[in-house]
Amino acid sequence: MIKKLLLMGMLLGAVRAGAQTYTPTADNLAARQNFQDMKFGLFIHWGIYSELGAGEWVMNEKHISYDSYKRLADFFNPQAFNAHEWVMFAKKAGMKYITITSRHHDGFSMFGTKASPYNIVDATPYHKDPLMELAQECVKEGIELHFYYSLLDWGRKDYAFGSPIVDGKPVNGDWDSYINFMKAQLTELITKYPGVKGIWFDGHWERDVNWHYDEIYGLIHKLNPAILVGNNHHLEPKEGEDFQMFEKDLPGANTTGFSGKSKIGALPLETCETINNSWGFNITDRSFKSSKRIIHYLVNAAGLNANFLLNIGPMPNGKIQPEFTDTLAIVGAWVQKNGEAIYGTRGSGIPAQPWGVITQKDKNLYVHVMTLPQLPYVFIPQLKGKVTKAALLADGSAVKFKQQTEGVFVYLNGIATDPNDTIIKLTTN
């Protein structure tokens, strides 16, 4: 038994020694800082599934065969798509980057690709590449672009969805062929589209295979070392990844049950959430989140040192439904006014309080009071440094405070509160 353990330990050691260690370049580290500064992004789930108005899992959930589903491509013709409108929608909402599905689990590529004919340019009457238009528009408007890319594919023969897995490969598929296909597409996405800054992987959890991440991440970083790689595997970050993501949960929370194994690591953090209850366009889903709830999600994420990636599912004609534009116009107006306490901040390390959170930038702390307390003050524990000034961010008016060894009391009596978030800026020395 002991011998066996020793042997195993040696083997593990050898594997570890053999694995390449990833050292991010200076450009990559700068990209991570910039990513953290942006704080707010737009997630877009858009594909031929939008035609059925039942989310991006509709093929799987309704047991639609690949051949029948493929027919959706014949009718996909988003004549009303306008890249400028989408980018301006994001900008107006106060978002600094867009992460869009280039290919989801249905296997349909929403970009022009030589690696498969099953793509928007070659297989639909639209014959245009919306992701190219979006990429060019993003560069023009100073918005960063990231591509979501599915590892899981319900249709391809080489992927062989449903096949038993032996030795890290699907026995009924051709795993090498599938890995090469993904590498070809990722090369296109990184080299052809201007300004792409990140790749957001998803689908890892579908099967227990060898995903060849060393090769895939290695290829991405070879093509462009500054690209930020993230993977929605719901595990701790793996070698070669540049940020850690959480799905439908703030870092540290696990309301979904997906996040139990994703201990918070040292990489930049991002959490994604839907504007209603769906990722892809869903015609019956009317559970729209209020602007207040979205603002609170953004502020809470920032307080935990994380970005917030808010998802919308555009309609099959290429338009964004008015409920989303209305809500995000309100969110945008709020963020434009209060951006100083969001953009470029980091978590303060002070834990969330019943009334809200604290963000930090340089020597300033931003106290976000989202739930007004019963007593007319908030108490901030564990504050380092001496507070020299407290002022309402909205108008600069002085706010009373008292600092003691155990923390700072900030008095709210008589101040003009904001129904979303009353922000008090503390200057420390």
Query: Could you list the residues that contact ligand JFZ (CB under 6 A)?
Result: 56-57, 202, 205, 232, 234, 247, 258, 272, 279
Q: How far is the CB of 234 from ligand JFZ (least distance, A)?
A: 6
Indicate the residue among 232 and 307 with the shorter CB distance to ligand JFZ. 232
Tell the smallest beta-carbon distance from residue 177 to ligand JFZ (Å): 23
**How many other CB atoms sit within 10 Å of the CB of residue 82?**
16
Cβ-based nearer residue to ligand JFZ, 246 or 355:
246
Compare residues 107 and 347 and give the one whose CB is closer to ligand JFZ.
107
Q: What's the burial of 379, exposed, middle or buried (CB within 10 Å: 0-12/13-18/19+)?
A: middle
Q: Are 292 and 328 in contact (CB under 8 A)?
A: no
Q: Where are the alpha helices (DSSP H) in 142-245?
A: 175-192, 213-223
Q: Cβ 101 to ligand JFZ, closest distance in Å?
A: 7
DSSP letters spanning 116-162: -S-BHHHHSTT-S-HHHHHHHHHHHHT-EEEEEEES--SS-TTT-TT
Distance CA 365, CA 348 (A): 7
**Minimum CB distance to ligand JFZ, residue 107 (Å):** 13
- Supply the minimum distance, in Å, between the C-beta of residue 211 and ligand JFZ: 15
Residue (274 or 348) nearer to ligand JFZ, CB:
274
Residue 409: count of CB within 10 angstroms of its CB: 15
- CB of 274: closest distance to ligand JFZ in angstroms? 8
What does the alpha-carbon distance between residue 429 and residue 427 come to, in Å, rounded to a whole number?
7
The minimum distance between CB 77 and ligand JFZ, in angstroms, equals: 23
**Residue whose CB is less far from ligand JFZ, 21 or 284:** 284
Q: ∠ CA(417), CA(419), CA(421), 5° rounding?
A: 75
Strands 356-361 and 364-369, sheet pairing: antiparallel
- Of 56 and 242, the one with the shorter C-beta distance to ligand JFZ is 56
How many other CB atoms sit within 10 Å of the CB of residue 385?
A: 12
Q: Which is nearer to ligand JFZ, 282 or 359 (CB)?
A: 282
Dist. CA 405–CA 390, nearest whole Å: 17
User: Measured from the CB of residue 66, what is the shortest distance to ligand JFZ in angstroms?
Assistant: 17
State how far the alpha carbon of 36 is from the alpha carbons of 115, 228, 369, in Å.
33, 12, 22
**Which letter, b or e, does each residue of 123-146 get, where b requires 16 or more Cβ atoms within 10 Å of its Cβ?**
bbebeebbbbbbbbbbbeeebbbb
The count of other CB atoms within 10 Å of the CB of residue 92 is 16
In whole angstroms, the minimum distance from the beta carbon of 272 to ligand JFZ comes to 6
The type of residue at 4 is K
Query: What distance in Å separates the CA atoms of residue 53 and residue 326, rounded to the nearest whole number?
Result: 20
Q: How far is the CB of 44 from ligand JFZ (least distance, A)?
A: 11
Closer to ligand JFZ at the Cβ: 144 or 247? 247
The nearer residue to ligand JFZ, 314 or 356, going by C-beta atoms, is 314
Distance CA 397, CA 425 (A): 10
Contact between 109 and 120 (Cβ < 8 Å): yes
User: 209-242 b/e with 16+ CB inside 10 Å = b?
Assistant: bebbbeebbbebbeebebbbbbbbbbeebbebbb
Please state the closest distance from residue 261 (CB atom) to ligand JFZ, in A.
Answer: 10
| Nearer CB in complex with ligand JFZ: 46/86 | 46
Q: Which is nearer to ligand JFZ, 44 or 380 (CB)?
A: 44
The strand ranges marked E within 248-400 are: 269-274, 306-312, 346-347, 356-361, 364-369, 377-381, 387-392
Torsion over CA of 65, 66, 69 and 71, rounded to 10 degrees?
-120
